[in-house]
Amino acid sequence: MTKTENHTLGASGAWHDAQALGALRALRRAGTLAAEYTRVPALLARMPATDLPAAGQLLARLDPKEVCRHADVPVVTVAVTGHSTVAPVVAPLTAELARHGMLLEAKVAPYGSYLQDLMRPAAAGDDQPQLTLCLLDAHMVFDDVTVPWRVEDVEAAARARLSLVAGAVRTHQEAGRGLLVLNTVPLHRRHTHQLVDLRSRARLGAVWRDFNRGLLSLAEQHPSVVTVDLDPLLAEGVPAWDPRTAQYARARLSDALLAAYAREAAHVVRARLGRTRKCLVLDLDGTLWGGVLGEDGAGGVELGAGLRGEAFQEFQRVIGQLGAQGVLLAVSSKNDTDTVRETLRTHPAMVLREGDFVRVNANWKAKHDNLRDIADRLGLGLDSFVFVDDSLFECGLVAEQVPEVAVVRVDDEPALHPSALLADGWFDLFELTEADLERAGRYRTEALRQEFREDFGSYQDYLEGLGLEVALRPPEESELARVSQLTLRTNQFHLATERLQVPQVAERMERPGGYVLAVRARDRFGDHGLVGALFLRRDKEVLRIDNFVLSCRVFSRGIESACVAAVLEFARDTGASAVTGRFVPSPRNSAFAPFYAEHGFAVTGTDPDHPDAVAFRHDLVDIAPAPAHLRLQAAFGPFDGDPT
Amino acid sequence: MTTALADAEEFRTLLEEELGLPIRPEDLDRPLDDFPDWDSVLLLRLVTVVENLVGRPIPVVDLLETRTFRQMYEVVMGR
């Protein structure tokens, strides 16, 4: 690690750039903010959090259509509704989405219309927002309570209100209106302290928690509902409300709380769009332990013993907790590799061990080169990475050289490291699957495969030695979450990029003529698990491949070719005259545009639903055999009748 | 940004920089209804911004009842 300052850093030596807001204002003054929107995420990445609301105000005034004329920015359409005045959330949400390179197109509902909004029928096609935010506050209960009131009155009002909300949420979900974000409702001292007897006051607290518990449980009942718990945000010292704006403008959640909420909501959007980050790359000196390993030696670094040593250990526990949930951990450290490996193996106070990391890059090369190396080795895009370092120089250089990487700068106070890492929900996802829990183990096995490969003269020899077995069969009910997750998170081998939630996967299975097939793979080193899915549909004599998704972990092993061969054979054996496929281009899947053509399909034109898409057809006359180095077992499930 | 508001001109700059609302000097006395981009949400934001700037609470009701940007400035300055 080096403490050298870099020219790209502000004179203050702080990670946050006090000039960033000024730069944004200058763009706005010059009238070029829309045209130069692609510069905005980098400016916001290092903007002090206190400046983000002002940035949000400026960005919220841009016309999204104007921005899209200049830049290829993903637009997120959001309907905002709620019990009170909800428009103040638009500016902070604009800023938070802009941090992630996304552009907000918000539609704000009239005051207090949330129940009607939730129960409206679905809008047609593109008019349907991707996300609905329904902002709830204490008045949704207290509006129904009249003076004088007792706890029982609040309890009855809260029950009635919860039941109304639950019904409206169910209607919203059953109408297929997509992702809905609710929140728990802060209880104000303004209300508790209108009760003078302490027993009643305690009871009000309990009644209120039941109400919030009901709101939280709606997220358990509906897979496309998220309830953001505001309690942890308030516990960071954010005021819940401003009595004046609540009274005079019915804006009942404070600006600061809305800003914190918007940060959470933006990560919900990221998760929904499959942009959950997957790999956490950590510096060592000053980050995982105190001091400098190269100078102090393994025995001299601050870890375990002493106050700061305990704080570093605590940070390692937080990282271990993330790692246990499928976040891949890696090291990038400017140190001698042998010293680092020895320390990871033998330092008595290390919580994280060598085996917890899928890669340990300890060397003297630039960190951005190491990040690229780790990304290549893991087969992941740099936009899946979060990088943590205490050095301003390293953080600045990484931010400049590989802007796709999210940079978390920790400072010289290790007790604050966990808060810095968790300030953004970089690894938030909807549902943890078995594959997440086993991910790190799989990537480590992959490292063994790579070593094995290096022993072979040719790649083909390697494949033949691998003993690959592939199974193709309908997913069990317990596997639907994993199939859904593959569609949500896979960006490269994803031929039609259709993102499906669990109920939508189930619906595809139940459709007449519909098949969903899970791809499982294993080899001599272990089980890859469920790594892909095929979505098929029989349409008279034609078997359509609506979508095909395969995890990047298992590319280039012939699995995709074997799956297609099995589909073609199945089609022929069940009397189909052709199999069709479609390739729908996305920002990340272009490497697989020639896939169908390479597998004997002919281009037949475009897809009327997707002007950019290319349609393919295989006439089943000449079916290429599956690659000989693997064994494939296919069970397509019941075939419902002769299509002719 | 300055640490206090010296004159109406600085208030105009503040509206522009903090709220993204370009106001010409001659706009200060025009009725707010003439500005389609102006809304009460911006006024709420203005309360937060101005209180941070001047370091004291401002009378929110008076601010909500103003009809021009100049009247707003006068409320902010406590006149």
Sheet containing strand A385-389, edge to edge, reads A357-363, A328-334, A279-282, A385-389, A406-409
Residue A161 lies in a domain: yes
Nearest of A134, A126, A119 to residue A77 by alpha carbon = A126
Q: Which of A57, A244, A245 is opposite residue B20, by nearest beta carbon?
A: A57
Beta bridge partners of A70: none
**Pair A15, A6: CB distance under 8 Å:** no
The residue among A256, A272, A288 that closes a domain is: A272
CA distance A82 to A165: 11
Model pLDDT, residue A13: 61
A25 contact B CB<8A? yes
A298 to chain B, closest Cα gap in Å? 48
For residue A10, give the DSSP letter. -
What is the domain-level CATH number for residue A86?
3.40.50.1110
Beta bridge partners of A282: A331, A388
| SS3 assignment for A255-314 | HHHHHHHHHHHHHHHHHHCCCCCCEEEECCECCCEECCHHHHCCCCCECCCCHHHHHHHH
A433-474 per-position pLDDT tens digit: 877 887 777 777 777 777 777 777 777 888 888 889 999 999
CA distance A214 to A163: 9
The residue among A70, A93, A110 that closes a domain is: A70
Nearest of A638, A391, A362, A630 to residue A514 by alpha carbon = A638
The whole-number average pLDDT for the span A139-156 is 96
Average pLDDT, chain A: 91
Domain ranges of chain B: 8-76
Nearest of A523, A527, A528 to residue A630 by alpha carbon = A523
Helix (H) or strand (E) holding A441: helix A434-454
Model pLDDT, residue A101: 92
The reply to whether residue A248 touches residue B64, judged by beta carbons under 8 angstroms, is yes
Half-sphere exposure of A23 (CA within 13 A, CB side): 15
The reply to whether residue A249 touches residue B61, judged by beta carbons under 8 angstroms, is no
B58 contact A CB<8A? no
Residue A432 lies in a domain: no
Phi, psi for residue A13 in degrees, rounded to 5: 75, 10
Residue A38 lies in a domain: yes
Are A573 and A553 members of one domain? yes
B41 to chain A, closest Cα gap in Å? 6
CA distance A381 to A491: 9
Residue A486 lies in a domain: yes
Are A171 and A64 members of one domain? no
The answer to whether residue A594 scores a pLDDT higher than 50 is yes
Domain assignment of residue A298, given as a range: 279-422
Are A229 and A293 members of one domain? no
What type of residue is A296? D
What is the domain-level CATH number for residue A533?
3.40.630.30
Give me the percent of chain A exceeding a pLDDT of 90.
Answer: 76
Tell me which of A6 and A43 has the higher pLDDT.
A43
Model pLDDT, residue A274: 85
Tell me which of A427 and A588 has the higher pLDDT.
A427
Model pLDDT, residue A128: 87
DSSP H helices, A556-594, are 559-573
Are A392 and A459 members of one domain? no
The answer to whether residue A8 scores a pLDDT higher than 70 is no
CA distance A522 to A116: 51
Residue A446 lies in a domain: no
- Give burial (CB, 10 Å; 0-12/13-18/19+) of A236: exposed
**Pair B59, B10: CB distance under 8 Å:** no
B43 contacts on A by Cβ (under 8 Å): 249
Tokens 């001047």 correspond to what residue?
B54
The residue among A422, A443, A466 that closes a domain is: A422
Model pLDDT, residue A22: 94
The answer to whether residue A4 scores a pLDDT higher than 80 is no
CA distance A287 to A457: 41
What is the domain-level CATH number for residue A381?
3.40.50.1000
Nearest of A103, A94, A41, A110 to residue A72 by alpha carbon = A103
Three-state DSSP at A358 gives strand
Architecture of the domain made up of B8-76: Orthogonal Bundle (1.10)
The whole-number average pLDDT for the span A85-101 is 95
Chain A, 388 to 447: residues with Cβ < 8 Å from chain B are none
Angle (nearest 5°) at CA A379 between A495 and A363: 160
Three-state DSSP at A99 gives helix
Helix axes of A52-60 and A90-99: crossing angle, nearest 10 degrees: 100
Are A65 and A79 members of one domain? no
The whole-number average pLDDT for the span A240-248 is 93
The answer to whether residue B3 scores a pLDDT higher than 60 is no
Residue A642 lies in a domain: no
Residue A156 lies in a domain: yes
Are A26 and A85 members of one domain? no
A23 contact B CB<8A? no
CA distance A360 to A579: 46
The answer to whether residue A545 scores a pLDDT higher than 60 is yes
Question: Looking at this predicted complex, what is its ipTM?
Answer: 0.90
Residue A11's pLDDT band (cuts 50, 70, 90)? very low
Nearest of A230, A269, A247, A245 to residue A87 by alpha carbon = A245
The reply to whether residue B44 touches residue A58, judged by beta carbons under 8 angstroms, is no
Per the structure, the count of domains in chain A is 4
DSSP B29-79: GS-GGG-TT--HHHHHHHHHHHHHHHSS---HHHHHT--SHHHHHHHHTT-
Give me the percent of chain A exceeding a pLDDT of 70.
Answer: 96
B13-67 per-position pLDDT tens digit: 999 889 988 889 999 999 998 988 888 889 889 998 999 888 889 999 999 999 9
B44 contacts on A by Cβ (under 8 Å): 88, 245, 249, 251, 255
The answer to whether residue A642 scores a pLDDT higher than 70 is no
Phi, psi for residue A543 in degrees, rounded to 5: -100, 120
B49 contacts on A by Cβ (under 8 Å): 54
A58 contact B CB<8A? yes
Are A134 and A58 members of one domain? no
Are A115 and A250 members of one domain? yes
B63 contact A CB<8A? no
The whole-number average pLDDT for the span A326-346 is 95
Three-state DSSP at A208 gives helix
The answer to whether residue A422 scores a pLDDT higher than 70 is yes
A105 to chain B, closest Cα gap in Å? 16
Residue A139 lies in a domain: yes
A387 to chain B, closest Cα gap in Å? 32
Nearest of A127, A128, A27 to residue A70 by alpha carbon = A27
A51 contact B CB<8A? no
Mutate to test the interface with B, among A58, A89, A238 (most CBs of B within 10 A): A58
Residue A176's pLDDT band (cuts 50, 70, 90)? confident
Are A90 and A234 members of one domain? yes
**How would you classify residue A604: left for phi > 0, otherwise alpha for psi between -120 and 50, otherwise beta?**
alpha
**Pair B53, B3: CB distance under 8 Å:** yes
